[in-house]
């Protein structure tokens, strides 16, 4: 007999199953919010996708189409990738100021209801909510490292680790683990005590911090812009099957993400929210490990600097980084 089970909290149910598990007989398929490519497909922008893919492969600039792609990227930050939210944005036509924010508000409320319905007691529910609500503050830290003390000054990992695991298993958050040494295999050098936690959808993130439509569309997010952009990149990488890993070193050097490529070894990725792309961290990393090249994700068009060995990838093309890993 074959069974198919679906549900937003299937991971939680399987993780907490207290009966014998049919090892080797279960195949898990995880669904994530729509990535940016799927978002463009929903807007019938297949020609734009083809242009992005071509420029990525040939390392050519997008030219006049670059601004159009950036415009769609900002729309994505508004709606995120939840299908109902994307549908509401499409229904607005080009009048995005009439986008129905209640769609995302309802999703957040449904999340909170799930916390009530799928845990054993009210105390655990409160811990899960406190962790979830703390993430925007966690990402504002200079190190962005998840700290239990941000939830509560007296909080200990042993008190909250199961609650955090619940959020991970429910795919409401995404863990990015710190790598002590950027060598293959990356997962073999993970420091399990040091990690970052992102919201699973950038549209939900913007709703939770109450970023309004005008703020997002006009690119006026100020202090939150950097962490929202980084959260977006994390979501894109995760949705495309890439492990979320990062590196931090001396002199406050920090590489936002690391990928293990098929042909070029370990490649560092730095995320910038604007066109101002100066950074000391890539230089520190380059001096230590001499990667074949480095990636900088920003508002800039495609390009490559042979002197710095930095490959520029625009924010709207992050979904294609999977082509480097394969």
Which band of pLDDT confidence, cut at 50, 70 and 90, is reported for residue 144?
confident
Residues in the chain, overall count: 326
Question: What mean pLDDT comes out for the span 211-239?
Answer: 94
Between vectors from CA 259 to CA 296 and to CA 173, what angle results, nearest 5°? 95
Residue of 92, 67, 73, 62 lying closest to 35 (CA atoms)? 73
User: What pLDDT, on the 0 to 100 scale, is given for residue 34?
Assistant: 98
Question: How are strands ordered across the β-sheet holding 190-199?
Answer: 190-199, 173-179, 245-248, 254-255
Distance CA 151, CA 135 (A): 9
Secondary element (H or E) of residue 199? strand 190-199
User: What pLDDT, on the 0 to 100 scale, is given for residue 18?
Assistant: 60
Question: What mean pLDDT comes out for the span 252-280?
Answer: 90
Cβ neighbors of 24 (< 8 A, separation 6 or more) are: none
Tell whether the torsion through CA atoms of 241, 247, 253 and 254 is positive or negative.
positive
User: What pLDDT, on the 0 to 100 scale, is given for residue 94?
Assistant: 82
Segment 57-74, tens digit of pLDDT: 999 999 999 999 999 999
| Crossing angle (nearest 10°) for helices 225-239 and 122-140 | 110
Which band of pLDDT confidence, cut at 50, 70 and 90, is reported for residue 109?
very high
- Does 7 have pLDDT greater than 70? no
59 Rama sector, left if φ>0, alpha if ψ -120 to 50, beta otherwise: left
Among residues of the chain, what percentage have pLDDT more than 70? 92
Residue of 90, 89, 108 lying closest to 99 (CA atoms)? 89
- Does 107 have pLDDT greater than 90? yes
Q: Where are the domains of the chain?
A: 36-325
User: What pLDDT, on the 0 to 100 scale, is given for residue 9?
Assistant: 56
Secondary element (H or E) of residue 243? none
Question: What mean pLDDT comes out for the span 129-158?
Answer: 88
User: What pLDDT, on the 0 to 100 scale, is given for residue 36?
Assistant: 98
Distance CA 84, CA 108 (A): 13
Segment 301-319, tens digit of pLDDT: 999 999 999 999 999 999 9
Which band of pLDDT confidence, cut at 50, 70 and 90, is reported for residue 204?
very high
User: What pLDDT, on the 0 to 100 scale, is given for residue 147?
Assistant: 92
263 Rama sector, left if φ>0, alpha if ψ -120 to 50, beta otherwise: alpha
Segment 11-34, tens digit of pLDDT: 555 555 566 667 766 777 778 999
pTM of this structure = 0.92
User: What pLDDT, on the 0 to 100 scale, is given for residue 165?
Assistant: 92
User: What pLDDT, on the 0 to 100 scale, is given for residue 41?
Assistant: 98
Distance CA 123, CA 310 (A): 48
Segment 268-287, tens digit of pLDDT: 999 999 877 777 899 999 99
User: What pLDDT, on the 0 to 100 scale, is given for residue 89?
Assistant: 96
User: What pLDDT, on the 0 to 100 scale, is given for residue 31?
Assistant: 86
User: What pLDDT, on the 0 to 100 scale, is given for residue 257?
Assistant: 98
- Does 121 have pLDDT greater than 90? no
Transcribe 24-90 into DSSP letters.
TS-------S--HHHHHHHTT-HHHHHHHHHHHHHT---TTHHHHHHHHHHHHHHH-S-HHHHHHHH
The better pLDDT of the pair 275, 205 is held by 205
- Does 209 have pLDDT greater than 90? yes
User: What pLDDT, on the 0 to 100 scale, is given for residue 1?
Assistant: 60
Question: What mean pLDDT comes out for the span 214-218?
Answer: 93
Tokens linked to 320? 């294609």
Which band of pLDDT confidence, cut at 50, 70 and 90, is reported for residue 2?
low
User: What pLDDT, on the 0 to 100 scale, is given for residue 15?
Assistant: 55
Question: What mean pLDDT comes out for the span 28-41?
Answer: 92
Q: Residue 167, class by beta-carbon neighbours within 10 Å (0-12 exposed, 13-18 middle, 19+ buried)?
A: buried
Q: Residue 314, class by beta-carbon neighbours within 10 Å (0-12 exposed, 13-18 middle, 19+ buried)?
A: buried
């Amino acid at each position: 007999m074959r069974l198919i089970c679906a549900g937003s909290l299937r991971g939680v149910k399987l993780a907490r199953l207290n009966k014998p598990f049919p090892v080797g007989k279960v195949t898990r398929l995880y669904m994530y919010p729509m990535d940016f490519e799927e978002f463009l497909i929903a807007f019938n922008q297949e020609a734009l996708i083809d242009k992005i893919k071509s420029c990525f492969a040939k390392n050519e600039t997008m030219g006049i189409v670059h601004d159009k792609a950036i415009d769609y990227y900002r729309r994505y930050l508004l709606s995120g990738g939840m299908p109902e939210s994307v549908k509401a944005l499409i229904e607005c036509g080009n009048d995005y100021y009439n986008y129905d924010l209640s769609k995302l508000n309802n999703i957040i409320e449904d999340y909170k209801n799930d916390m009530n319905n799928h845990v054993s007691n009210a105390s655990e529910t409160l811990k899960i909510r406190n962790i979830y609500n703390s993430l925007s503050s966690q990402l504002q830290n200079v190190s962005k490292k998840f700290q239990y003390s941000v939830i509560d000054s007296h909080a200990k990992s042993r008190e909250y680790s199961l609650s955090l695991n619940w959020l991970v298993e429910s795919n409401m958050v995404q863990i990015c683990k710190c790598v002590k040494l950027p060598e293959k295999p990356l997962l073999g050098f993970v420091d399990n005590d040091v990690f970052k936690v992102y919201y699973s959808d950038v549209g939900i993130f913007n709703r939770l911090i109450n970023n309004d439509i005008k703020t997002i569309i006009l690119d006026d997010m100020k202090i939150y812009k950097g962490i929202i952009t980084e959260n977006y990149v994390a979501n894109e990488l995760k949705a495309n099957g890439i492990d979320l890993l990062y590196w931090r070193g001396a002199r406050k050097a920090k590489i936002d993400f690391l990928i293990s490529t098929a042909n070029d070894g370990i490649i560092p990725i730095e995320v910038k929210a604007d066109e101002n792309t100066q950074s000391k961290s890539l230089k520190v990393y380059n001096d230590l490990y001499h990667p074949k090249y480095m990636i900088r994700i920003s508002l800039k068009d495609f390009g490559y600097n042979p002197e710095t060995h930095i490959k520029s990838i625009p924010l709207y093309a992050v979904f294609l980084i999977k082509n480097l890993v394969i």
